[in-house]
């Protein structure tokens, strides 16, 4: 196995590992990451990574662009390169024979990647992650069915999200179903509500009450009766005064 340090990033060393007609790039995390996983990306443009058939500076630029995206995460991204077209055959002539050939290639790559990582003092997660790629969808399904609990199928975004959630920088303690974030004030003050922006629940608005018509009529009749009694009183007084005048 020929292992060459291809380039150095801030938190990863990128190696090119070659043996016969099979080679691959792998990111080995720095010692600040004490654990990692082997994540394999089967690329349709794998031929572009072949340093024997492409300009070296071109390959370096391509590798740096890809691996810089995972530099802050404890990911050991593996990009296989095959010169016997095993990666091409499973797309153009998908069958058990071509699947088995690529399966043997990937098995050898996983073993070599595991040796390289452990030699650098990195603990390797037991599950291998296969990054999704529609061009290899049929083979990936076959591969996952074959190894089941030993492999996982994730998108590149899911892979980064998972490793980011596991980062110690989050200072998170997990207990059963409750997550606590250290340093967060549990007694958060509820913000004062602006009275001008309060929304009133229409269900609690009291409707205007319509008085019954018979109640209004009784009130009107009472008022008319009161006026009648006043008029009768006034007329009685006038008549009494007239009688007194006549008698006198």
Q: Which distant-in-sequence residues (6+ apart) come within 8 Å of 84 by Cβ?
A: 21
Q: Do 25 and 125 fall into the same domain? A: yes
Q: H-type helices in 53-153, by residue range?
A: 56-67, 86-92, 96-119, 137-147
Q: Do 67 and 146 fall into the same domain? A: yes
Res 164: pLDDT: 59
Low-confidence stretches of the chain (pLDDT < 50) are 167-217, 219-220
- Domain interval for residue 98: 2-181
Structural domains in the chain (count)? 2
Quick check: is 113 in a domain? yes
Look up residue 142 and give its two tokens. Answer: 């076959």
Quick check: is 193 in a domain? no
Residues 18-56 have pLDDT tens digits of 988 899 999 999 878 878 989 999 999 999 999 999 999
The model's pTM is 0.65
Res 245: pLDDT: 61
């Amino acid at each position: 196995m020929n292992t060459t340090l291809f380039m150095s990033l801030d938190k990863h060393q990128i190696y090119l590992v070659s043996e016969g007609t099979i080679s691959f790039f792998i990111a080995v995390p720095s010692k600040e990451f004490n654990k990692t996983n082997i994540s394999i990306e089967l690329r349709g443009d794998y031929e572009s990574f072949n340093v024997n058939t492409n300009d070296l500076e071109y390959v370096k630029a391509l590798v740096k662009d890809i691996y810089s995206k995972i530099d802050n995460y404890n990911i050991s991204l593996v990009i296989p390169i095959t010169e016997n077209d095993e990666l091409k055959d499973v797309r153009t002539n998908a069958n058990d024979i071509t699947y088995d050939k690529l399966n043997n290639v990937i098995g050898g790559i996983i073993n070599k990647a595991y040796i390289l990582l452990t030699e650098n003092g990195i603990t390797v997660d037991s599950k291998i992650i296969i990054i999704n790629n529609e061009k290899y969808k049929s083979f990936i399904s076959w591969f996952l069915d074959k190894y089941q609990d030993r492999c996982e199928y994730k998108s590149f975004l899911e892979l980064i999200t998972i490793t980011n959630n596991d980062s110690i920088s989050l200072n998170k303690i997990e207990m059963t179903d409750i997550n606590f974030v250290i340093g967060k004030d549990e007694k958060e003050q509820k913000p004062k509500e602006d009275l001008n922006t309060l929304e009133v629940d229409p269900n609690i608005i009291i409707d205007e009450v319509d008085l019954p018509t018979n109640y209004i009529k009784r009130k009107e009749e009472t008022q008319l009766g009161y006026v009648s009694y006043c008029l009768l009183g006034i007329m009685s007084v006038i008549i009494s005064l007239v009688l007194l005048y006549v008698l006198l």
